């Protein structure tokens, strides 16, 4: 389970009860099905499976976005390091350096906000999953697994990846700003 998923699970455990009222359709219950309650439970289970699958897809898209931004910024650092190591490139106008740094820091901000959006999206999905688990025989995903991981409180048991991955764009931005400061002086 990644860090954003862990944060989402933590929020889901807390919010599952509150979202239950919004999740469940009051006009549809086990009695709404002409067959036994088993059909109703099967429908809930299928919706649960769909929600878990969609949460997994959001996590996969987040990982893809991370890979894109990490590759982009790593490539830019290699390019800038190579370009600036050449003697004829050392006399770059200060205005150009500042504008380039602002663009690069802006790209880091876009990365950070993209991560945040995916984390918020998964948080909502895990709240819905938690509410669906209220209707299932076991709450294995939201409640039990999260407790087994110490609810992300002890890094020796489980360190949520979301806490780590949010620092990567910040570190790249700091590298760009320090490089800009070194070139401008």
Q: What is the pLDDT of residues 28-60, one digit of tens each?
A: 665 655 666 777 778 888 999 999 999 999 999
Q: What does 39-72 look like in DSSP terms, one character per residue?
A: HHHHHHHHHHHHHHHHHHHHHHHHHHHHHHHHHH
Name which residue leads in pLDDT, 18 or 115. 115
Q: pLDDT value at position 175? A: 92
Does the predicted TM-score (pTM) go above 0.85? no
Q: pLDDT value at position 74? A: 94
How far apart, in Å, are the Cα atoms of 11 and each of 4, 19, 163?
A: 11, 11, 15
pLDDT above 90 for 18:
no
What value does the mean pLDDT take over residues 153-160?
Answer: 82
> Are 37 and 148 within 8 A, CB to CB?
no
Looking at the structure of the chain, the number of domains it has is 1
Domain with 108 in it: 3-184
């Amino acid at each position: 389970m990644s860090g954003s998923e862990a944060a989402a699970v933590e929020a889901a455990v807390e919010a599952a009860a509150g979202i239950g009222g919004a999740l469940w359709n009051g006009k549809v219950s086990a009695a709404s099905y002409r067959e036994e309650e088993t059909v109703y439970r099967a429908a809930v289970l299928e919706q649960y499976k769909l929600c878990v699958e969609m949460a997994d897809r959001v996590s996969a898209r987040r990982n893809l976005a991370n890979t894109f931004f990490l590759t982009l910024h790593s490539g830019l650092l290699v390019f800038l390091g190579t370009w600036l190591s050449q003697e004829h490139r050392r006399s770059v106008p200060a205005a150009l350096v500042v504008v380039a740094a602002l663009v690069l820091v802006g790209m880091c901000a876009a990365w950070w906000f993209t991560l945040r959006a995916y984390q918020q999206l998964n948080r909502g999905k895990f709240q819905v999953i938690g509410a669906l688990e209220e209707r299932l025989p076991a709450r294995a995903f939201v409640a039990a697994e999260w407790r087994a991981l110490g609810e992300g409180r002890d890094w020796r048991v489980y360190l949520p990846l979301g806490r780590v991955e949010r620092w990567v764009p910040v570190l790249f931005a700091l590298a760009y700003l320090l490089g800009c400061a070194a070139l401008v002086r």
